[in-house]
Structure 1
Amino acid sequence: MTENETGTASGTADTDGTPATDGTTPGTDGTAPHFWQGSFIHEAEARRRLADLPAAVEAALSSVLGTETVLAACDALSTALRDPGHPVRARLAAHLPAGEDPSVLAELGALLGRRELTRKLRRELGGASPGRLNRADPRESVYEAWAPVGMVAHIAPGNAVTVAPLSIVEGLLAGNVNVLKTSGDDTLLTQHLMAELAAMDPGGAVAARIVVLRFPSSRQEWLRLMCAPADAVAVWGGEDAVEGVAAHVPAGCRLVEWGHRISFAYLTGAARSDSGTLDALADDVCLHEQQACSSPQVVYLDTADEGEVFAFAERFAAVLAARPPAVTVPAAGGPDPAAEAETTTTELVARLEEHLGLTKVFAAPDGSWRVMADTRSPLTASPLHRSVWVKPLPRERLIATLRPMRRYLQTAGLAGSVTDIAELSRTVLAAGVTRVTPVGSMLESYAGEPHDGVYALQRYSRRVAVRADPVRFATTACLDDLAGPVVLPPPAGPLVGKEDVREPARKPARADAELYFRSGGSTGAPALSVFSYDDYDTQMHAAARGLLAAGYDPVGDRTANLFYCGGMYGSFISFFSVLERLGGVQLPLSAGPDHRETARALIEHGADTLFGMPSYLWQLLHAQEEALRAYGGLRKVFYGGEHFTPEQQRTLAARFGIETVRSITYGSTDLGPLGYQCTESSGGVHHLHADLHTMEVVDLAEDRPVAPGETGRLVFTTHARRGQNLGRYLIGDLGREVPGRCPCGRHAPRFELRGRTGDVMRVATHFLNHRRFLALAEEQGSHRGELQIRLDGGGARERLTVRAERSGSTDPVRLREVFLAGYPELRSAVSEGLLDLLVEAVDGVSLDRSPMSGKLLAVVDARR
């Protein structure tokens, strides 16, 4: 998880003391010492369950562990660990080893946040949902994913409190069952950390994949039972520790060695005389007392001059002498007797070799630090605890000198000019180093950084592929959609609206605010919605999968992107990105006033598919009807922002030969894509992007669910979002859940859009809906155009004017009769003398539209 785990080339894998006695031995704090799939258990029960471990693993693997489930649980634990007053942090602090700084819990919390883990997933496995079987290339029916290896056995070191829990989290992110062994004399910190993590997932999927056992390595039978069903065994420690575990690794099982490593600093001529460089080097030596693999044990100088080596060692010794002494706690800390003996022996040998002119030793009188200059270049492990070798190594001999030790090399801290750093980086990497940093930051790491030259998540995963029939699966972008429903954490908290999410407290942090989209202002004042680039990429891939489901063909379709590129630029840019990810042929023309020029471009470049808003596409097609009908090449229309009515769709088919007319997506500027249509969908029916969001339908007036199938306010909670909490968001639309599984075979829930909340009008004591007027006009009045309602006050009665777009079949008198006959509430208001009803035929250009987006305003309320 991080490069700064404790462990060096001279350390041991764990510090088990005397073997614990069998039986029900409690842990050091009086509790059971083992955590098994959500429960603390004693020795006898652990022994019994170990014998049945293969069956427990198979049962856990029978269901899929969603990445979002792990991320949500880790993020919740991260929040608790970073809060000094949180009860979870207080409970865990009681299990810290003696002398361990409680701030280590906050450091651990920082590594478990959604931002860091999502970045790690993207770096190591290519995306935030790597386990889903998506098309590797949208133009081919080949599906690839990262699958768990199955079960990972983790053999943790006994000298680093964060390594064990972070190792389990890596195994969980890859979807594995994880069985971890801690040292026999460790505290129960890891067990209780994992219990707190499991508690953050109320569904229990995380708990089902975690087992933490505490026993000494001398208990070989337990180690054998633990490794027997493993598909990968991860072990920390030196060669002896790895050898001891390897004996229990079954054939075909992946052995993942996180062995001890040696790191060094390399200083060029100018750098070694710079006081700032020496101070930075001392920081690397003193931080963690060289207990991290990335701590420098040797300082190499780019020289062959022995005198320069001795002179530098003396200068650096003065810098170390000025540092505050190490703070150690006897119960936890300082060198143990064996380490002290190694340090003393190493120093004595170096002093003896001074008489041969090979070495020179500079050491603290109290033995708290030592700098040992050596004229011989080969890499030598340090006894640690502020013990540093200084050696000559001209750059031309770097590879020959270091390559024999390549199995043990980790970090090289470089100091020199910009050119030096570039050249030396390539050289030390060729010699076997896996990590290069500036001197002074050798122990620092970043989320997703490779560990010892590999990505941990890839070591705990398999790359799998499914090749499907290209005809039968032409519109299937993700196989998992057909296999089962996505499980996401249930939404919680109060309902929030547009104004709520724009409050300063809810705005994303500056680090997450990378992409700003201005809304079209169709339903209010234009506003900015903020995304990270990772969020945007996730959403565009989702929209691309939805477009495939709707029947878009990235191989055969030639698409004109005719969304607006002015005030409402979001759709144009987004679907440019979608087509880019699909690899589809694209003509990014954008919507413009010159319909003749747009039609010419469509015909000249052979476009057969149109993306755009219905109002614009309707105007374009009718303005250039003669040319486009003569062309005869248009086949598909994918629309967004508004709706094509059934009558309009029939007109597109009859006059222009358009075979497919579907929603391109359902979404919002704030939340991104929310739903998509499949080839079995029509009208306002969409599938939910269930891997990104959960959806609720709540009452028009109260925060309570409506009865199944009833219309209510649509509420969305987005889960795949970094830096901004958009939970239980009122989108402003009305809709209803569509019961049953879709004939297309997808498990994603379906919903039907039933208009905007603003389309519902309170007029003359009645609630009237614009959608009802439109349906009556089309189904009984043979109306084929747009429809707008205007409300005016004044006098004793209100006035409702239905403005119908004029066409050859528009009959205002007939439409008024249809409305009164088919809408009882309207008829009642008119008959009671509370409302005047007018119907008029108007040109489409005279209908009121949003000045920013060009969308038709369904209801214009002039009473206010």
Structure 2
Amino acid sequence: MTSAPMSGTAATADTAPAPGTPGGEHHWWQGAFIGDEEVTARLADLPALTDRALGEQLPTEIVLAACDRLSGALGTPGGPVHTRLTRCLTDEGTEAEEAVALLADLAAALSRPALERKLRRELGGPHPERLIRPDARETVYEAWAPVGLLVHIAPGNAAGVAPLSVVEGLLSGNLNVLKTSSSDTPLARLLLAELAAADPTGTLARRIVVLSFSSGRREWLEPLCAAADAIAVWGGEDAVAGITELAPPGCRVVEWGHKISFAYLCRGSWSDPAVLAALAADVCRLEQQACSSPQVVYLDTDDADEVFAVAGDLAAELALVSDKLPRPELDLAEHAEITNTELVARLEQHLGLTRVIAADDGSWRVLADTRPALTASPLHRSVWVKPLPRRDVTATLRPMRRYLQTAAVGGERRDVAALSRALLCAGVTRVTPVGAMLDAYDGEPHDGVYALQCYSRRVAVRADERFTATSCLDDLVAAPLLPAPPTGPLLDKAGVQEQLRHLAPEHAHLYFRSGGTTGAPALSVFTNADYDTQMRAAAHGLLDSGFDPARDRAANLFYCGGMYGSFISFFSILERLNATQIPLAAGDDLAAVAEALVAYRADTLFGMPSYLWQLFHTQRETLRAWGGVRKVYYGGEHFTGEQRRVLQEDFGVEVIRSAAYGSTDLGPLGYQCERAEGSVHHILTDLHTLEVLDTESDRPVPAGEPGRLVFTSRARAGQRLDRYQIGDLGRVPAGDCPCGSRTPRVELLGRHGDVVRVGTYSYHYRRFVDAARTHLGYRGELQVVLTGGTDRERLTVRLDAAYAPSAEEARAAFLTAIPELRSSVEEEGMLTLSVEITDVASFERAATSGKLRAFVDRRTTG
């Protein structure tokens, strides 16, 4: 059988050179080619090797990164990897065109989008190995764990099956030993050597062994099977039975046995030449060597004359299709089987039971038979045509159910629906259109099961209330093992917007615009799968921050509309946490919002600090009288220390914490745990890799030093957000977090846009905020407005009249606290400083997000 190719977008990076196969060393063992004598010695140590390998967790991220890199290399004709593997195939007798097609199929199957979709379908997500809470209301953790040592007994008739089966074993975390036939091409071991070379961590190499030997070599086969926890075996009943006898008690034997597939045509479709041409193409593709190739064509009739007539029409189409495709030479056994089958059918013609229509050169044949019993074809463009009224489908096919795989149905829409159900009940596991029997989609079940689930165990851990704020048990054990970040050029916002101009439609499902706080709103585009992955990661971070979906009643007060994502994102996050949610959104009628909070007993608020501060400030009496708000989760801005004190002392708020650190372009980036202080956040390593680079040059800063935050997003289809300069400044705190999580952290130090140049000095927004808090005890919002002039520029500090002292007192405090400001105003005469005491409604905010603009620079507009 063959493994159907999976579609996807391949990367373009090449892999490091893999070593060639030395003479006589036909086996590959954890990174090295070895000979027979070494295999004998190492097989005795296989149980101990399994113990060592499974002691090291294999993150799917490592597998995905290496596969995607290899996918790019396989999809680059003329590249070193493509050249080596093409030569490997052609040297063994494969036609050059067929070799190129096979490598293209493997490139598609190994691409990251294809494998991520497979992981989502089969194991529920891109990180199935992590112990997370399937229901956030309970401290129960589940994951998919490897079975252990997975032995793959590969088929000899499908070169791509063996390495792809090992990739499935890697995705499920196993130690994999692949046994290929001694007569097979070296493609499997060379391809897997290239895959290991694509992983600079060396983790994959330690999980792969490839042995090439005959199944008759019992001194190797027996210890190999005896050590296995699971065996995936391809072949007929005798081959499967032989391996099952060698499997130890408790070993899981996954059978990928020989299957039979067929087409079923209704009256309207069998008279359509296009349908018959598509069916003929399915017959000729791969010489019917795939389990999904049609061996029989059933007709919804019991009329022998109709069977013979359709056989003639199909033969005519088969002749046309076959002439366009080269036909490989048959060996003696294949030729004998075809001759014998055809001879018997010709003899039965005299009884009126059959009719044979064959090419003069023997390149194809149609065998019409009036008896409906399922009959295997001798393959190589040989196909039966038989009657089978739909009323008899179950009775005729169900006795052969263990051998059935694919059925292609040709008919009207209602026919397809009804026959699909009947055929599935009869034992078929897969129904397709005519002409698409050998096609597949990413994550499609095979022979009625998901391979990744067959190669995995579902495991669970039940914990107590100490783990209420722990989303993933693995984060308490060790820092995640991640692929190294890329080394290419840095990406800025303009580069991201340029990428969107070339984004394929299949990667553009969900559109968001930024709030426009620091400039013109920018567009960001996600696939629905990417969005789901990001929201689930952010939900896990919110759990770690102390949000309790079993008890907290959340009011979503982020801004909504205008393609702005905050409200929608947190609606999705809370939904994935199975939390109680009151989705109010930020509204102008603050009194109505406060009344709703009281009416629906919302004890946890999500929103922008500036909006929440206005809500508490204007609705003081209502909210203080109720006293029910216990937690506040904010995003986009920060509460000052004085504002936190007011919320805690005047309103009884117990927890004030960042809901998430993120951006519209990249999505959620980090979360703030219960033990976090200031602006420290843990990085969402399921999604991103962080670099901290010097502010002046593109080099890493020393440990603990501040620099530019540069993120690489590993969970985005279509867009390659590699080394993206997000515009933030930060540093990595030393040591582990007191919360116990080993995930990396970052302390946010503001944005590049929080610094402006006025005259000969640069001013950071936080300097003004700190001066107001320290020297004036100010706890309101603050905004700096810059305007031009004929002789000098003007800097105006806006303060909220509800909390501000006199303008004269405030101006004196700023001049005292910021020496360079005093020098520019009083000594150099380059700047005019003023303080404006105004109502908070006069402050300028981003139209979409409602976020306070720290600097309002009007100098460029006069």
TM class by shorter chain equals over 0.9
Which of 340, 351, 366 does residue 345 from structure 1 map onto? 340
CA drift of 1:798 comes to 4.4
Which of 477, 485, 491 does residue 471 from structure 2 map onto? 477
The aligned counterpart of 2:838 is 842
Structure 1 Cα separation of the partners of residues 594 and 153 of structure 2: 67
Correspondence list, 1:39-188, <5 A = 39-96=32-89, 97-100=92-95, 101-103=98-100, 104-188=102-186
Pairing 1:701–2:696 present = yes
Pairing 1:565–2:560 present = yes
Going from structure 1 to structure 2, the CA distance change for 1:348 and 1:690 (only over 3 Å counts) comes to same
Structure 2 Cα separation of the partners of residues 805 and 572 of structure 1: 27
CA drift of 1:27 comes to 9.8
Structure 1 Cα separation of the partners of residues 574 and 608 of structure 2: 17
Correspondence list, 1:416-427, <5 A = 416-427=411-422
Pairing 1:192–2:187 present = no
* Structure 2 residue identity aligned to 1:58: D
Structure 2 Cα separation of the partners of residues 450 and 726 of structure 1: 32
Pairing 1:582–2:574 present = no
CA drift of 1:504 comes to 4.0
The aligned counterpart of 2:854 is 858
Structure 2 Cα separation of the partners of residues 809 and 521 of structure 1: 28
CA drift of 1:506 comes to 7.5
Structure 2 Cα separation of the partners of residues 526 and 769 of structure 1: 23
Structure 2 Cα separation of the partners of residues 279 and 213 of structure 1: 42
Range with bigger deviation, 271-280 or 417-426:
271-280
Correspondence list, 1:296-375, <5 A = 296-325=294-323, 333-375=328-370
Q: Does structure 2 retain, via aligned residues, the 8 Å contact 1:692–1:719?
A: yes
The aligned counterpart of 2:15 is none
Structure 1 Cα separation of the partners of residues 21 and 559 of structure 2: 67
SS of residue paired to 1:411: strand
Structure 1 Cα separation of the partners of residues 504 and 537 of structure 2: 24
Structure 2 Cα separation of the partners of residues 31 and 94 of structure 1: 18
SS of residue paired to 1:247: helix
Going from structure 1 to structure 2, the CA distance change for 1:293 and 1:808 (only over 3 Å counts) comes to closer
Q: Does structure 2 retain, via aligned residues, the 8 Å contact 1:4–1:293?
A: no
Going from structure 1 to structure 2, the CA distance change for 1:825 and 1:808 (only over 3 Å counts) comes to closer
Q: Does structure 2 retain, via aligned residues, the 8 Å contact 1:60–1:209?
A: yes
* Structure 2 residue identity aligned to 1:108: L
Range with bigger deviation, 397-406 or 854-863:
854-863
Q: Does structure 1 retain, via aligned residues, the 8 Å contact 2:779–2:803?
A: no
Correspondence list, 1:564-713, <5 A = 564-567=559-562, 569-713=564-708
Q: How many residues align?
A: 840
Going from structure 1 to structure 2, the CA distance change for 1:734 and 1:216 (only over 3 Å counts) comes to same
Structure 2 Cα separation of the partners of residues 30 and 506 of structure 1: 51
* Structure 2 residue identity aligned to 1:169: V
Structure 1 Cα separation of the partners of residues 303 and 785 of structure 2: 91
Which of 699, 713, 723 does residue 728 from structure 1 map onto? 723
SS of residue paired to 1:227: helix
Q: Does structure 2 retain, via aligned residues, the 8 Å contact 1:377–1:391?
A: yes
Pairing 1:272–2:267 present = no
The aligned counterpart of 1:284 is 282
CA drift of 1:816 comes to 4.2
The aligned counterpart of 1:202 is 200
Q: Does structure 1 retain, via aligned residues, the 8 Å contact 2:594–2:622?
A: yes
Structure 1 Cα separation of the partners of residues 825 and 485 of structure 2: 43
Going from structure 1 to structure 2, the CA distance change for 1:2 and 1:362 (only over 3 Å counts) comes to closer
Pairing 1:36–2:33 present = no
SS of residue paired to 1:569: coil
* Structure 1 residue identity aligned to 2:51: E
Which of 387, 395, 403 does residue 398 from structure 2 map onto? 403
Structure 2 Cα separation of the partners of residues 807 and 666 of structure 1: 30
SS of residue paired to 1:503: helix
SS of residue paired to 2:88: coil
CA drift of 1:395 comes to 1.2
The aligned counterpart of 2:771 is 776
Structure 1 Cα separation of the partners of residues 565 and 24 of structure 2: 57
Q: Does structure 1 retain, via aligned residues, the 8 Å contact 2:689–2:712?
A: yes
Structure 2 Cα separation of the partners of residues 220 and 763 of structure 1: 82
Structure 1 Cα separation of the partners of residues 827 and 502 of structure 2: 50
> What TM-score, normalized by structure 2, do the two folds share?
0.94
Going from structure 1 to structure 2, the CA distance change for 1:125 and 1:2 (only over 3 Å counts) comes to farther
CA drift of 1:646 comes to 1.2
CA drift of 1:711 comes to 2.1
Range with bigger deviation, 532-541 or 562-571:
562-571
Structure 2 Cα separation of the partners of residues 242 and 216 of structure 1: 15
CA drift of 1:817 comes to 4.6
Q: Does structure 1 retain, via aligned residues, the 8 Å contact 2:3–2:161?
A: no
| Percentage of identical aligned residues | 62
Per-residue CA deviations over 1:200-257 (Å, capped at 9, x if unaligned) read 1101111111111111111111112222222110111111221222222111111011
Structure 2 Cα separation of the partners of residues 473 and 29 of structure 1: 53
The aligned counterpart of 1:486 is 480
> What TM-score, normalized by structure 1, do the two folds share?
0.94
Q: Does structure 2 retain, via aligned residues, the 8 Å contact 1:33–1:42?
A: yes
Correspondence list, 1:368-447, <5 A = 368-447=363-442
The aligned counterpart of 2:450 is 455
The aligned counterpart of 1:250 is 248
Q: Does structure 2 retain, via aligned residues, the 8 Å contact 1:637–1:661?
A: yes
CA drift of 1:297 comes to 0.8
CA drift of 1:312 comes to 2.0
Structure 1 Cα separation of the partners of residues 395 and 800 of structure 2: 83
Q: Which runs of 5+ in 2 are unaligned?
A: 6-18
* Structure 2 residue identity aligned to 1:269: R
SS of residue paired to 1:502: helix
CA drift of 1:338 comes to 1.0
Structure 2 Cα separation of the partners of residues 51 and 740 of structure 1: 43
* Structure 2 residue identity aligned to 1:51: A
CA drift of 1:802 comes to 2.6
Q: Does structure 2 retain, via aligned residues, the 8 Å contact 1:520–1:568?
A: no
CA drift of 1:174 comes to 0.8
Structure 1 Cα separation of the partners of residues 803 and 150 of structure 2: 71
CA drift of 1:440 comes to 1.4
Structure 1 Cα separation of the partners of residues 415 and 502 of structure 2: 43
SS of residue paired to 1:191: helix
Range with bigger deviation, 151-160 or 836-845:
836-845
Per-residue CA deviations over 1:509-564 (Å, capped at 9, x if unaligned) read 21111111111111111121000000000111111111111121212222211111
